[in-house]
Amino acid sequence: MYQTKKKVAESSQHIYQQGLAPGKSGNVSVRKDGYVAITPTRTSLRDIESESVVLVGVDGTILSKEIIPSSELELHLSIYRERDDVDAVVHTHSPYATGFALAGKKIYRLEGFGTINKSHLEMVDYATPGSTKLAQIIGEKIKTEDVLLLEGHGVVCVGPSLDEAVLLAEWVEKCAESLFVAHLLKK
């Protein structure tokens, strides 16, 4: 599991450096061999080291007793329960995409998201961050989506690998930025 924890730490630092999770926002996890490696709570992704990544059983049993997992642990576990094809979850508060989520505006699907079967990314109704209600909403909506905008909150991206989930989070932010600029230029 050391390599998995190391990958979570490296990806977390990358997400922070890309401006996708400022301050102490955002969380990252990977599922492997019946365990979930997840970032700790109240810690900047900038500061994540492999030693600070928390191991949790897929049933929610916290195995790293000295470190508290992300307050969004339940959200991550709900995704893993619903999607056998997903082994990584990235939750960001990237500025442009989160701006769309705060304004309740749609982010249209641009090329690069794979098959376009909807005109826009799915946005889920607001629920308190870290709540069971949010985890339930995400668990239901993630069945058919790889990206969810969380109204008034941020973005969740999933993938078969952490690299894929991170690339998707980067792409969502760049699309939101492009749409924002296009909106300004139309005025």
Active site residues: 72
Place of tokens 């308190």: 128
* Cα–Cα distance measured from residue 122 to residue 18, given in angstroms and rounded to the nearest whole number: 23
Any idea of the CA torsion for 147, 111, 17, 53, to the nearest 10 degrees? 30
- Please provide residue 29's backbone torsions phi and psi, each rounded to the nearest 5 degrees: -145, 160
Q: What secondary structure letter does DSSP report for 105?
A: -
- Please provide residue 147's backbone torsions phi and psi, each rounded to the nearest 5 degrees: -135, 135
How many of the other CB atoms lie within 10 Å of CB of 29?
30
